[in-house]
C-alpha cells in the first residue's frame, strides 16, 4: 500500500543543456543533471509558465498512484549562468526566464513513440488511461500526438502539462469540476476502452483524499502564488477540491467517454 505521507520529489541541478525537443511547443529540452542522468526538462519560463509544470506534476503523480508507468519526476534547478553560451537567442531567452526551480522527467533513452496499430493495448490498460485523462481533462493524447512511449516493451505515459486547463482561468472552477470531458472523443485509445466501469470502481478507491492531498502538497509555494493575490494555501485547496469533486462524480466523465466510444465502434 502507498504511504500517503511519504511523497516527495528529488531535486537535481542542471549541469548541461544537450538539445531542444522541438516537437514540444514550449521548447522542452534534453538536459543532464548533477546526478549523471538525462532528463526531459520543462521550463517555468515557457509559454504556459508554471501552470504547465503544476499540471505535469499532479498528472504524473496521480498516474503513478494508479499504477501506470511514469518516468521519475524531479525538481530541476537552473542556474543563472546556465545557457550563457547557448547560440540560439530564443533558447537563451527561455533559459534566462527559467532561472531557479523547474520540473524534469527522467529521459527514456531509446524509447519510441507509441503507435496503436503496432502495439494495441489490452482493454484494461486502455480504459485506465482513458479514466485518468478524463479526470485530468487532458486534451493531449490524440492520434496526432499520443504522448505515450514504448520503452523496454512497456507503455510509459509522458507530458501531462496540457491537463487541468481550468487553472488557466480559475473562473467557476466548481462548475468545471463536474463537467463531462467532451474532448475524450479525440483520444487515441478510446476505441479500446471497454472496461471503464470496472476501472472506475478500482481507481476511486486508490485516489483517497489523503493521497490527493499528498500530491498537491508537493507543489512549490512559489509556483502557486505567481500572477495571483491569493495565498498558496488557497490555491492548494482549490486543486484539492477540484480533483476530489471530479473523483466523487466520476460517473459523469465515465458516461461521456462510454457515449463517445459508442459512436466510434
**Quick one: which H or E segment has residue 33?**
strand 29-33
For the beta carbon of residue 127, count every other beta carbon within 10 angstroms.
26
CA distance 58 to 64: 10
Task: Output the pLDDT for position 153.
Answer: 94
Answer for the pair 182, 41: CB distance below 8 angstroms, yes or no. Answer: no
| CA pair distance 205, 58, nearest whole angstrom | 18
CA-CA distance, 225 to 164, in Å (whole number)?
Answer: 17
Q: Please, how many CA atoms are within 13 Å of residue 235, restricted to the half-sphere of its CB?
A: 24
Each of the 265 residues of the chain gets a pLDDT tens digit; together they read 445 556 899 999 999 999 888 665 568 999 999 999 999 999 999 988 999 999 999 999 999 999 999 999 999 999 988 767 778 888 888 889 999 999 999 999 999 999 999 999 999 999 999 999 999 999 999 999 999 999 999 999 999 999 999 999 888 999 999 999 999 999 999 999 999 999 999 999 999 999 999 999 999 999 999 888 899 999 999 999 999 999 999 999 999 999 999 999 8
- Whose cell is 520540473? That residue is 103
Q: Of 71, 104, 43, 63, which Cα lies nearest the Cα of 215?
A: 63
| CA–CA distance, 32 with 34 (Å, rounded to integer) | 7
Q: Give the span between the Cα atoms of 171 and 174, in whole angstroms.
A: 8
The pLDDT, as a whole number, for residue 113 is: 95
Q: Is 99 exposed, middle or buried (0-12, 13-18, 19+ CB in 10 A)?
A: middle
Q: Which cell goes with 16?
A: 548541461
Q: Among all chains, which residue has been given the C-alpha cell 546556465?
A: 82
Residue 214 three-state SS: helix
What ranges in the chain are assigned the alpha helix state H?
A: 49-65, 89-97, 123-136, 173-177, 196-206, 209-217, 221-224, 232-248, 250-262
Cα–Cα distances (Å) from 183 to 115, 149, 227, in that order, read: 20, 22, 28
- Per-residue confidence (pLDDT) for residue 1, from 0 to 100: 40
pTM given for the model = 0.95
Q: Cell 541541478 appears where?
A: 13
pLDDT given at position 3: 52
Amino acid at each position: 500500500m502507498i504511504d500517503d505521507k511519504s511523497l516527495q520529489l528529488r531535486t537535481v541541478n542542471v549541469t548541461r543543456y544537450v538539445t531542444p525537443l522541438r516537437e514540444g511547443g514550449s521548447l522542452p529540452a534534453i538536459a543532464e543533471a548533477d546526478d549523471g542522468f538525462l532528463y526531459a526538462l520543462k521550463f517555468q519560463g515557457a509559454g504556459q509558465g508554471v501552470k504547465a509544470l503544476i499540471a505535469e506534476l499532479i498528472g504524473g503523480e496521480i498516474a503513478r498512484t494508479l499504477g501506470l508507468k511514469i518516468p521519475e519526476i524531479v525538481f530541476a534547478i537552473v542556474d543563472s549562468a546556465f545557457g550563457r553560451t547557448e547560440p540560439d537567442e530564443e533558447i537563451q531567452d527561455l533559459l534566462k526566464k527559467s532561472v531557479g526551480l523547474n520540473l524534469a522527467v527522467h529521459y527514456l533513452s531509446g524509447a519510441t513513440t507509441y503507435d496503436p496499430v503496432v502495439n494495441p493495448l489490452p482493454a484494461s490498460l486502455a480504459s485506465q488511461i482513458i479514466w485518468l485523462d478524463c479526470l485530468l481533462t487532458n486534451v493531449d493524447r490524440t492520434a496526432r500526438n499520443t504522448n505515450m512511449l514504448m520503452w523496454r516493451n512497456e507503455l510509459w505515459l509522458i507530458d501531462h502539462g496540457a491537463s487541468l486547463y481550468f487553472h488557466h482561468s480559475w473562473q467557476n472552477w466548481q462548475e468545471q469540476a463536474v463537467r463531462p470531458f467532451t474532448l475524450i472523443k479525440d483520444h487515441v485509445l478510446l476505441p479500446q476502452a471497454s472496461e471503464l466501469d470496472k476501472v472506475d470502481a478500482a481507481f476511486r478507491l486508490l485516489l483517497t483524499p489523503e493521497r490527493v492531498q499528498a500530491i498537491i502538497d508537493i507543489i512549490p509555494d512559489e509556483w502557486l502564488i505567481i500572477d495571483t493575490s491569493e495565498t498558496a494555501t488557497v490555491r492548494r485547496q482549490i486543486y484539492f477540491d477540484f480533483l476530489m469533486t471530479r473523483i466523487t462524480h466520476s460517473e459523469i466523465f465515465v458516461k461521456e467517454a462510454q457515449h463517445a466510444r459508442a459512436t466510434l465502434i
